Structure 1
Amino acid sequence: MTDSSKKSLRIGEIYTVEIEKAAHGGHFIARHEGAVIFIRHAIPGEIVEVEITAIEKSFYRAEVRAVVEASPHRVQAPCQYARPGGCGGCDFQHIDYAHQRQIKSEVIAEQFARIAKMEIDVEVEEVSTPLHWRSRFAATTNGQSDLGFKETRSNSVIAISECPVLLPEIDFDTIARESISPNSRIEVALSTQGERTISVAPNRNNRLEKNPPAQIVEGKSALHYEIATNSDTLKFQVSQGSFWQSNINAPATLVNAVRAYADVQEGDHIIDLYGGVGLFAKALVKDIGLTGHIDLVEASTTATRDAQQNFRDHKNVTVHRGDVARLISQFESADVVLLDPPRTGAGQAVLAAIADLAPRSIIYIACDPAALARDTGYLHESGYHLQSIRAFDLFPMTHHIESIALYTADKVS
């Protein structure tokens, strides 16, 4: 901290502050004599004692050590490990569930106001119960082979015996009792058909490394899902290494929302970017009829292999494996473009290429409101404006949010 007008704080010091508002990423903002502090495990409006835990270039990080004046929305966390210095997974368990969603709505609005210079008001819709919703997870063993999750901003593993956000059918207790090598990454998935797969791999040495290949120690290499949507029941093969939404209700919820936004017509050409195993393409393939076509683009070898299997009976779906930024140039036009990019967003170059295809609508599925706000600005520069946005609480008890945004071309007078 170099600004002489701000007080210089030190790690380990305790201060009493009032929490102002929520920030992107699960933190809450307070100030002390001009110094900005990002705090975890707080609620706006509270007065709390905090301990400085880290010094960044323009702000400090801190944890709540005592609540002086509690918010009426503060509750007892349902998980014994959801606390300062505990599991880093569920950072909102101390907040009543309705207020969690309200805070997330405010975070989305703040990101759009700050980054996209737009005023929006969006409700974060409830998708599942706040507990017992998660069907997939990744955990880690420590040096003593205890299974757990990492502490926030740390490589320390918090050993746990239960996790209340997991579906009970995952049977976490039996996994925790398994003999697993120390310092390993464990990935567990449960399908809608009751299949359970467990894979184990060595931990990577740093965040820049790719995860080492995993070995399946229980179950088959591919799981099978049936998703009941508003219009149909869809069936999917999803391999251990392919992405699939972790909330048990998320696939149907997202499919229904995307289908409503897409308003697909018979004969449409749809381009599904970052299309994974084909969740959205499968929901739209009937709507385009035999004269329509879907091009699905996905970088993952495993996911494209699943997509090819999922569309083996659909001659009007072509699966392309490769980088979206490279492959999008091979398309000349589209009626509808879907994109579900990674957390970092699609970026200016990809969005400009999408706009060049002149689709009547663009549907953007996003897991980071800051990236979505930034990319909304890029689309505006390319002649597309935000028509509508919905947000879904796919990750109760955490700060994470999923959004779906619809963009249409600006009208030319």
Structure 2
Amino acid sequence: MPVPRRRSTRQATRSRQPRGRSRVGERFEAEVGPIAHGGHCVVRLLQTAGQQESRVVFVRHALPGERVVVEITEGTEGDRFWRGDAVEVLVPSPDRVVAPCLVAGPGLCGGCDFQHVTPAAQRRLKADVVREQLHRLAGLDLEVEVEAVPGDVDGLRWRTRQRYVELPDGRRGMRKHRSHDVVPVDDCLLEAPEGPSCSVLGRDFSVGRGGFWQVHPGAPQVLVETVLAMLRPEPGEAALDLYAGVGLFAAFLLDAVGETGHVVAVEADGSACEHAGVNLGIGAFVEHGPVDEVLERGLDRPFDLVVLDPPREGAKRHVVEQVVARTPRAVAYVACDPAALARDIAIFAEHGYTVQDLRAFDLFPMTHHVECVALLGFSR
């Protein structure tokens, strides 16, 4: 079954003109620095002859504090930074473990970033990334804890939808990191034994084949419960569910605001809108179209509550400003990328909306991805 379109994590290698001699394949011994957004750690190579400052290398398969041998996988002399793999660990971190997957590691399957890290340490690393992005991009200093979610087995067997590359010999495989090359994979340890269950808190949802639905089996319930706990919807309130998909949040908001309330779901995908209409039934309105365009041409009355669940690149300025123009008392922002979340939080802050609460969930174990839910409220 296909991977959900809105949470796709594949990163195509950009073609670019080389700037000087290639350093690919060269090896350096180095101390590993902090974790960075994207599943790698920062390594600074010491100055060399003719070089005025240390070279930054983004290194996979390493952990902060380790001493490793780094092999350069991308980079030329003129590049601002290089990429590399830790191909030998000289001084390991206490958080390092043997990867449970046989095809995880340098030069192998690129689907996982943290197979070499204990699950608890993975969550600490993700918390560090969320904290750093919020500080750097939004000027916030918040305590962040990434919470485990029921539905996986020590970080494995959680992906209810998986996509493979079909090989000529009939086998299947996965691509290497930032490459079109394929590694044969007989058994992906992230793949769940069963497909997704589209039932949440006793409510069944209609979802089209290939339509978006959270891939971690525990994700829909924990996200719904978190959004409702943050927003505290009251009977009679008006709620706006943006990037609504098949109406997961809108359905529970509709129950909460009751017959005297009002819920509008906005979604760009036509098929998802059709399913949202089935899931929501009478009492909710489903608007089909890109969120920015729908908000620009209508829905210009006040709303008490807003749920934002944008794609990986975030809602961005135009949508954020359209949201604050509706003067909601509370906004629940569901984000799968902490950098995009931080950038949008900074825009909200320009209009007097600040972070009242933040929770983070490990919905993508063994990878660098993390899901956050932020509550924003008007504070001036």
What's the TM-score, normalizing by structure 2? 0.89
Residue aligned with 1:28, SS:
strand
Larger RCO (alpha carbons 8 Å, 6+ apart):
2
Which letter maps to 1:37? V
Query: Using the alignment, how far apart are the partners of 1:308 and 1:165 within structure 2?
Result: 33
Is the contact made by 1:267 and 1:290 (CA closer than 8 Å) also made in structure 2? yes
What pairs up with 1:171-250 in 2 under 5 angstroms? 190-192=195-197, 225-228=198-201, 233-250=202-219
1:35 is displaced (CA, Å) by 0.3
Q: Which amino acid aligns with 1:124?
A: V
Q: Which moved more, 1:256-265 or 1:234-243?
A: 234-243
Compare 104-113 and 139-148 and name the one that shifted more.
139-148
Residue identity matched to 2:34: K
Provide the rounded CA distance (Å) in 1 between the counterparts of 2:163 and 2:103: 16
Out of 292, 305, 308, the position equivalent to 1:325 is: 292
CA distance in 2, matches of 1:350, 1:78: 42
Say if 1:297 and 1:320, in contact at 8 Å, map to a contact too.
yes
Question: 2 CA distance for matches of 1:27 and 1:142?
Answer: 29
Q: Who is 2:107 aligned against?
A: 85
- Counterpart of 2:82 (choices 55, 60, 79) is 60
Shift of residue 146, structure 1, vs aligned partner: 2.6
Q: Which moved more, 1:30-39 or 1:129-138?
A: 129-138
Which has the larger share of strand?
1
**8 Å CA contact retained: 1:9, 1:52:** no
Distance (whole Å) between structure 2 residues aligned to residue 241 and residue 292 of structure 1: 32
Deviations 1:171-200 (A, max 9, x none): xxxxxxxxxxxxxxxxxxx132xxxxxxxx
Q: 1:14 aligns with which of 19, 22, 27?
A: 27
Q: Is the deviation greater in 57-66 or in 350-359?
A: 57-66
Per-residue deviation, 1:145? 4.0
* Equivalent position SS for 1:294: strand
- Contact 2:58 2:83 survives alignment (8 Å): yes
2:158 and 2:216 in contact (8 A); partners too: yes
Residue number in structure 2 paired with 1:24: 37
TM-score normalised by L of structure 1: 0.82
C-alpha contact 2:196 2:215 (8 A) present in aligned 1 = no
The structural deviation recorded for 1:238 is 0.8
2:69 corresponds, among 20, 28, 49, to 49
Render the CA deviation track for 1:250-303: whole Å, top value 9, x for unaligned: 100101001101100101110000000011111221110101111000001111
Q: Which amino acid aligns with 1:377?
A: A
Q: Indicate the SS of the match to 1:271.
A: strand
Is this contact kept in 1: 2:250–2:280, CA < 8 A? no
Question: Separation in 2 of the partners of 1:148 and 1:334?
Answer: 47
Structure 2 CA distance for partners of 1:103 and 1:50, relative to 1, 3 Å: same
Q: Which residue of 2 aligns with 1:173?
A: none
Give the 3-state SS of the residue equivalent to 2:307 in structure 1.
strand
The code of the aligned residue for 1:378 comes to I
Q: Deviation string for 1:280-339 (max 9, x for gaps)?
A: 111221110101111000001111111111122xx2201111000100131121000101
Shift of 1:9: 7.6
8 A Cα contact 1:102 1:123, kept in partner = yes
Partners of 1:78 and 1:168 in 2: CA distance:
17
The letter for the 1-side match of 2:42 is: I
**Pairs aligned (count):** 347
Question: Shift of residue 244 of structure 1?
Answer: 0.2
In 2, Cα distance between the equivalents of 1:310 and 1:358? Answer: 27
Residue identity in the other structure for 1:101: R
Residue 310 of structure 2 is aligned to residue 341 of structure 1? yes
Query: Gaps (5+ residues) in structure 2?
Result: 1-20, 47-53
Contact 2:57 2:83 in 1 (8 A): yes
**Cα contact 1:234–1:282 (8 A) shared by 2:** no
Name the structure 1 match of 2:179.
154
Query: 2:8 — aligned with what?
Result: none
Rounded to whole Å, the distance in 1 between the matches of 2:156 and 2:114 is: 12
Give the whole-Å Cα distance in 2 for the aligned partners of 1:61 and 1:372.
25
Which of 123, 141, 144 matches 1:122? 144
3-state DSSP of counterpart to 1:290: coil
Cα RMSD between the aligned structures?
1.4
